[in-house]
């Protein structure tokens, strides 16, 4: 593991859980032994299952890694992936195209077609054909419902079912409640899954495998402790051979690339209150004393790049890191030196605090093709106190001055409908986006994921109950029950967000009418969308300088947050 000296300096109140980076945290190596390598074929088959939203076509690192772990230990694997099945009326990308957040594109030009069959029937066939000894699901909160449908459909087979993923880690009790789930993986799965398969294959007792919650024959639940966090250089390179080749295609602003994700670190040192990342840090700190945020060495990343280019013909890289530039200057220089030998276009997400003039310049030189920045909210005080993002509008202005001077396209991610938010506060976000003037803006509605401090805020304020289930931040509906900002209003603001951000203010009354999904609202929205396409999308994709940037950003009118604090 490489060294990093980045300590977050956010000055807001946290909720008491221990997520702060301490001296020596990142330097400490993992105390886990190396994973077993014994490719001698073993008669033990594992079927991975990836429940997914339709056409969300970026490969998941977790299955790639876990698959590689099992293959190098000699087990046989296969995959059932729901990505290309019609599991919803519209795909998330179709919704984003409709909401003017994504240019139109066609995956079918690349031979990617919707599967005509029923996904549950095909899953049952897959299980009957592959005859797995273990069925292994990876889930996020949003895909848990789909996972349950699949799990229930093969209940009569009695094949053991294990569920892992970030949702399993942060809400294991919700998954363990399901009678057809035999095991839940809490935390990292590399060692846990291999050890489980080894024991099952050898016919040994496995009720004490660390990181697993296991249902015994009598129905009782064994909750084993967690093992230390794995060193990222000990994680095998992902193996995506179980995925269909069409799963590599990913649209980027209307063009399609063969995109491969590469995990460069795991976790995040920051503490946004709506996000899972600090909760993972807290969970690991509490259970093992380890700091969840770790980096992979650049020599290891180099090996992966070489492998994926040779094996998968990678032409675009997604650096799978929650805050890619959360690294020391030395690490950054090493990255640039290493990546200068590749210069494949890449995309990453980072925080504005991690950007400097030198970094932006160097990133541009090595072909950074997009940076996604989570702004989340336009009101500085609200962003600090409620959202937990401690940067100021002044810092934001400085960062965007650098970004605007570069040729790197920027995406700003925004969230609407935070607990306690008002329509007026949503317009602070719109105003700030207008001033930042990036070519690509995204707005999602707030989702109170389990395990986050903000979900607790929502329960305390009476906006949701303990049992409220979430729906995806793009395809479903918001779930907070707030008197001052209804879910219909939030959905209307999400659909018109890009219009409010890009169009002259004289058109705002018309845009407001387009928030409504009645006949007139839909007609106006269709007209405005056509104009939007003409002005912003109907040209070859190239970066355009952001003309409306202004140093007034940090003069955004302040609103007292006392009145909106839940
Ligand atoms: C990269 C990423 C993506 C990628 C890949 C998704 C994926 N499933 O890996 C893409 C862009 C496709 C994506 C899409 C979505 N994402 Co996303 N994504 C991430 C991100 C930034 C990193 C995930 C990652 O690669 N981590 C590294 C891997 C190695 O860790 P891991 O997934 O946790 O896996 C380890 C363990 O959990 C465990 N494990 C995992 N699965 C299994 C299975 C078994 C059987 C076992 C034993 C163990 C095990 O072992 C793994 C190795 O140690 C996370 C943030 C985060 N902190 O997790 C958000 C995150 C997972 N995403 C999130 C969301 C909401 C989504 C979408 C719903 C968004 C959308 N509307 O499209 C979709 C859902 C797609 C899907 N089917 O998963 C949320 C989930 C919130 C929640 N509580 O459920 C997160 C946490 C971000 C957040 N808001 O805080 N995402
Ligand atoms: S929102 Fe981003 S910066 Fe904030 S804690 Fe989550 S991953 Fe880190």
Bridge-based pairing of strands 249-252 and 255-263 is antiparallel
Give the mean pLDDT per block of 10 residues along the chain (566 residues): 31 52 70 94 98 91 98 98 89 76 72 90 98 98 94 97 97 96 98 98 97 94 97 97 93 79 96 94 92 94 97 95 94 97 95 94 95 95 92 90 89 95 97 86 93 93 93 74 95 95 94 97 94 72 31 32 31
Centre of ligand 2 from the C-alpha of residue 246, in Å? 30
Distance CA 115, CA 246 (A): 12
With respect to residue 437, please indicate whether it lies within any of the assigned structural domains.
yes
pLDDT at 96: 75
Report the SS3 class of residue 436.
helix
Distance of CA 523 to the CA centre of its chain: 34
CATH number for the domain harbouring residue 296: 3.80.30.20
| Cβ contact 213:186 at 8 Å | yes
474 lines ligand 1 (CB under 6 A): yes
Task: State if residue 442 touches ligand 1 by the CB under 6 angstroms criterion.
Answer: no
Cα separation, 324 vs 346, in Å, equals 12
The number of the ligand 2 atom at minimal distance from the alpha carbon of 268 is 8
Give 420-453 pLDDT, tens digit per residue. Answer: 999 999 999 999 999 987 777 889 999 999 999 9
- Please give the pLDDT value at position 28: 66
pLDDT (0 to 100) of residue 340: 97
* Dihedral sign for Cα atoms in the order 277, 283, 286, 292: negative
User: At 84, is the secondary structure helix, strand, or coil?
Assistant: coil
Is residue 122 one of the residues assigned to a domain? Answer: no
pLDDT tens digit string along 478-512? 999 999 999 999 999 999 999 999 999 999 999 99
Burial class of residue 345 (count of CB atoms within 10 Å of its CB; 0-12, 13-18, 19+): middle
Q: Confirm whether 48 is domain-assigned.
A: no
Q: 38 near 202, Cβ under 8 Å?
A: no
For position 563, what pLDDT does the model report?
32
Q: Please, are residues 89 and 98 in contact by the beta-carbon 8 Å criterion? A: no
User: What Cα–Cα distance (Å) separates residue 368 from each residue in 57, 105, 341, 345?
Assistant: 20, 22, 14, 6
Residue 459 lies in a domain: yes
pLDDT in tens, 286-304: 999 999 999 999 999 999 9
Which listed ligand is nearest to 389 at the C-alpha? 2
Question: pTM of the prediction?
Answer: 0.92
Domain assignment present for residue 222? The answer is no
Q: Which residues contact 156 (CB under 8 A, 6 or more apart)?
A: none
> Could you give the 3-state DSSP secondary structure of residue 505?
helix
Pair of tokens at residue 202: 């050898």
Task: Give the 3-state secondary structure of residue 138.
Answer: strand
Pairing type for strands 265-266 and 294-295 reads antiparallel
3-state helix, strand, coil in the chain (%, to 5): 40, 15, 45
Which ligand places an atom closest to the C-alpha of 191? Answer: 1
**Structural domain contains residue 415:** yes
**In ligand 1, which atom is closest to the CA atom of 451?**
83
What distance in angstroms lies between residue 190's CA and the mean position of ligand 2's atoms? 24
Total of domains in the chain: 1
**Token pair for 85:** 């099945």
Nearest CA to ligand 1 atom 56: 277
Cβ atoms < 10 Å from Cβ of 337 = 12
**Considering the domain boundaries, does residue 30 fall inside one?**
no
Q: What is the pLDDT of residue 98?
A: 79
CA gap 464, 518 in Å, rounded? 28
What's the 515 CA to ligand 2 centre distance in angstroms?
A: 30
Q: Encoding tokens for residue 429?
A: 């976000």
Atom of ligand 2 nearest to the CA of 276: 6
Q: Is the CB of 167 under 6 A from ligand 1?
A: yes
Residue 521 lies in a domain: yes
SS3 368: strand
Its domain, for residue 473, covers 252-526
- The residue written with tokens 């960062």 in the block is 399
Q: Are 368 and 348 in contact (CB under 8 A)?
A: yes
Q: What strand order describes the sheet that includes 183-185? A: 76-81, 45-50, 134-138, 161-164, 183-185, 212-215, 221-223
């Amino acid at each position: 593991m490489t060294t990093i000296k980045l300590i977050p300096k956010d000055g807001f109140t946290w909720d008491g859980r221990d997520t702060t980076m301490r001296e020596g945290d990142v330097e400490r190596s993992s105390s886990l032994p190396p994973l077993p390598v014994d490719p001698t074929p073993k008669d033990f088959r594992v079927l991975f299952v990836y429940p997914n939203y339709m056409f969300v076509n970026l490969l998941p690192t977790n299955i790639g890694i876990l698959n590689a772990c099992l293959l190098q230990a000699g087990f046989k694997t296969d995959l059932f992936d729901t990505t290309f099945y019609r599991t919803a009326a519209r795909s998330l990308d179709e919704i984003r195209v409709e909401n003017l957040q994504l240019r139109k594109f066609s995956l079918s030009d690349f031979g990617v077609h919707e599967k005509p069959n029923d996904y549950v029937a095909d899953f049952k066939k897959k299980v009957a054909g592959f005859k797995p000894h273990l069925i292994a699901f990876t889930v996020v909160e949003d895909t848990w419902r789909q996972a349950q449908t699949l799990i229930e459909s093969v209940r009569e087979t009695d094949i053991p079912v294990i569920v892992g993923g970030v949702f399993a880690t942060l809400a294991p009790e919700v998954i363990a409640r399901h009678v057809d789930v035999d095991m839940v993986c809490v935390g990292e799965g590399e060692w846990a899954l291999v050890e489980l398969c080894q024991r099952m294959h050898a016919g040994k007792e496995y009720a004490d495998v660390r990181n697993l919650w296991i249902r015994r024959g009598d129905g009782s639940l064994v909750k084993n402790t967690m093992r230390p966090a794995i060193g990222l250089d000990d994680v095998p390179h992902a193996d995506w051979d179980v995925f269909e080749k069409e799963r590599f295609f990913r649209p980027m602003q209307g063009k399609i690339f063969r995109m491969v994700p590469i995990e460069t670190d795991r976790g995040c040192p920051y503490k946004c209150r709506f996000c899972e990342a600090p909760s993972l840090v807290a969970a690991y700190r509490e259970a093992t004393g380890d700091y969840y945020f770790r980096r992979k060495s650049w020599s290891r990343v180099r090996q992966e790049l070489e492998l994926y280019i040779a094996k998968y013909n990678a032409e675009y890289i997604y650096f799978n890191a929650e805050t890619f530039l959360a690294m020391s200057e030395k690490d950054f220089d090493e990255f640039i030196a290493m990546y200068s030998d590749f210069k494949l276009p890449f995309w990453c997400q980072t925080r504005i605090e991690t950007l400097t003039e030198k970094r932006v310049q160097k990133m541009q030189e090595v072909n950074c093709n997009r940076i996604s920045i989570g702004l989340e909210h336009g009101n500085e005080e609200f962003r600090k106190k409620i959202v937990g993002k401690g940067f100021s509008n002044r810092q934001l202005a400085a960062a965007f001055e650098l970004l605007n001077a570069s040729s790197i396209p920027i995406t700003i991610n925004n969230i609407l409908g935070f607990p306690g938010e008002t329509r007026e506060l949503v317009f602070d976000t719109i105003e700030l986006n207008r001033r930042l003037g990036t070519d690509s803006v995204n707005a999602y509605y707030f989702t109170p994921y389990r395990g986050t401090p903000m979900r607790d805020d929502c329960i305390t304020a009476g906006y949701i109950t303990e049992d409220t289930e979430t729906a995806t931040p793009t395809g479903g509906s918001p779930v907070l029950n707030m008197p001052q900002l209804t879910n219909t209003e939030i959905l209307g603001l999400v659909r018109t967000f890009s219009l409010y951000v890009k169009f002259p203010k004289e058109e705002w009354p018309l845009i407001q009418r387009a928030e409504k999904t009645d006949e007139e609202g839909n007609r106006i929205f269709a007209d405005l969308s056509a104009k939007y396409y003409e002005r912003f999308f109907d040209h070859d994709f190239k970066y355009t300088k952001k003309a409306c940037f202004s140093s007034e950003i940090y003069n955004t009118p302040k609103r007292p947050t006392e009145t909106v604090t839940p």
